[in-house]
Structure 1
Amino acid sequence: MPILFITDTIEWVPSSGPEVGMLRHRAFVAGREGWDGSPLCVIRAFHNGEFVPGKLAIQHQAAYIPHAGREVPVHNFEVLCASSHAVRWLPGSNGQVPVGAIPAGNTHNGEPLYIGRVTHMNSVTPGKVHPSHGCCYISFNGGEVAHKSYDVLCRIVG
């Protein structure tokens, strides 16, 4: 009988648009597109001096981050690969994050940014929790949309 190993690792894998198909079975699925049900995964990308969490639509080979009021397309990024045994979603609001929240980026002055997700227009979309702004931002339909209530991706501790 084969031995099954369950890993609790959380890792960021460098990628770009054409390579994302290779990560299809490893990328952490954080949500779904409302219009076609395709998976949305978590990424982070460097942009204008910040390391920003965002979303990857593997099926559409498109990655975006929410930044400065816009949905910014990115072509070089890191994809979150994590076992469902290593993480869980916990509620957050008004910029607060629970114990175990996974820092996934930072602003130009060093403030940590966390992985959040919200339900918006029938999509469950990952984005960034920006604590000092008191919200989770997602990129959606060309813009950056703020939500005061959201889920936060946390490492399972204990």
Structure 2
Amino acid sequence: MTPYWEPGTPYGPGAVVTYEGHRYKIIQPHTSQTDWPPTIPSLWGRLSDEDPGDWGGYEKQHPANHQPAPEYHPPPPEGQQVEIPHEERKQHWYDLDDKRKTELEVGGGLLAGLGLLGAGYAMYKHHEKSEEDATDTWAVQNWVHDGEARRIEYGKRGPQGPAQWILNRGKDIPANAIVVGPEHDWMLWICRAYIDGTLQIGKASNVFQKGAVIGYEGKEHQIDTYEILVGDMHGLQWVDASGHLNVENLGLRPVEGGRDKDGSPLYIAEAPHNGATHPGVASPKLDGALIPYGGKQVQVHNYRILCYNY
């Protein structure tokens, strides 16, 4: 089975992946990013579709005369008056010169974005406007921009693999969101959201105040703009783990989760607590999974990690 392309994955010489129903072979070895899909010709070459092989039932079949949908460009954030090129969005805030930073702060929607961080995007630290505020605002706007594009693509083409993150808002949970389990008389789903320069994993439910709850720095944070994991558990499985996570011992490739402030990966966990199973986060740096529960984060020694079947 040809593996599905995933962001945050090192691809070396000879790598072949599935993306949007087609196979691609690596040209330039690299670690993948959300905005570097296999359709970039300098990184990947598309293979013939005449012998697709075993796709596992997840590919989206297209007729021979199918024309790909035009690239979607999400609407700019409120207050944005200057153009922000795609290549510039891939840069860190501190890589931009002072003149460009000023242009973006005034005309790029960053001033409006500061308010969004405090309200909808859960900025962890609240203080007067600073370089750190601008850095967070720049990062979260790019995250939302990319998430909007993926959500629209998902609406047009449906799922492109057994697991896919799509942007979501509020309490309306997509029909094929991956369920972790019931808690009392409601369900819990897997989500992630931007908070304090990180992408943290948490839980979503239509009974929560804003739709999602993320654990960070020992506390629960209510979130109304987040990504939710959709897909098909026929292509996934939960693998037992305990204590400090050793990814190599899983035997299977874990699904992309989040990232910590230092850029290290965070993985999707489920852990039992107080009579229910809860979504959470695990990593080699944590002595067990952390789940948001009861206004704080709870550490659970024995847990499971979500992995692909191949």
**TM-score of the two chains, using structure 1 as the length reference:** 0.87
Q: Distance in 2 between matches of 1:43 and 1:130?
A: 17
Identity, % of aligned pairs? 26
Other structure's SS at 2:234 match: coil
1:95 aligns with 2:244: yes
RMSD: 1.7
Q: Distance in 2 between matches of 1:124 and 1:138?
A: 10
Deviation at 1:124, TM superposition (A): 0.7
Q: Distance in 1 between matches of 2:283 and 2:214?
A: 13
The letter for the 2-side match of 1:94 is G
Query: Does structure 2 retain, via aligned residues, the 8 Å contact 1:32–1:123?
Result: yes
Q: Distance in 2 between matches of 1:76 and 1:134?
A: 29
1:49 aligns with 2:197: yes
Q: How does 1:33-72 map to 2 (within 5 A)?
A: 33=183, 35-36=184-185, 38-60=186-208, 62-72=211-221
1:31 aligns with 2:184: no
The letter for the 2-side match of 1:28 is I
The letter for the 1-side match of 2:202 is G
1:144 aligns with 2:297: yes
Deviation at 1:86, TM superposition (A): 1.4
Q: Distance in 2 between matches of 1:95 and 1:30?
A: 22
Deviation at 1:119, TM superposition (A): 0.9
Q: Which residue of 1 aligns with 2:280?
A: 127
Deviation at 1:52, TM superposition (A): 0.6
Structure 2, unaligned stretches of length 5 or more?
A: 1-55, 59-160
Say which structure is richer in helix: 2
Query: Does structure 2 retain, via aligned residues, the 8 Å contact 1:27–1:82?
Result: yes
Other structure's SS at 1:85 match: helix
Other structure's SS at 1:58 match: coil
Query: Does structure 2 retain, via aligned residues, the 8 Å contact 1:130–1:137?
Result: no
The letter for the 2-side match of 1:26 is N
Query: Does structure 1 retain, via aligned residues, the 8 Å contact 2:162–2:236?
Result: no
Q: State the number of aligned residues.
A: 148
Q: Distance in 1 between matches of 2:189 and 2:286?
A: 23
Query: Does structure 1 retain, via aligned residues, the 8 Å contact 2:169–2:211?
Result: no
Name which structure has the greater RCO, CA cutoff 8 Å, separation 6+.
1
Other structure's SS at 1:116 match: strand
Q: Distance in 1 between matches of 2:272 and 2:169?
A: 26
The letter for the 2-side match of 1:121 is N
Q: Distance in 2 between matches of 1:92 and 1:6?
A: 29
Cα deviation, 1:132-152, whole Å, max 9, x if unaligned, reads: 122210000111001111011
Range with bigger deviation, 62-71 or 90-99 = 90-99
Query: Does structure 2 retain, via aligned residues, the 8 Å contact 1:65–1:72?
Result: yes
1:83 aligns with 2:228: no
Q: Distance in 1 between matches of 2:294 and 2:283?
A: 20
Which segments of structure 1 move beyond 4 Å, counting only runs of 4 or more? none
The letter for the 1-side match of 2:255 is I
**TM-score of the two chains, using structure 2 as the length reference:** 0.45
Q: Distance in 1 between matches of 2:302 and 2:242?
A: 4
Q: Distance in 2 between matches of 1:72 and 1:81?
A: 22
Say which structure is richer in strand: 1
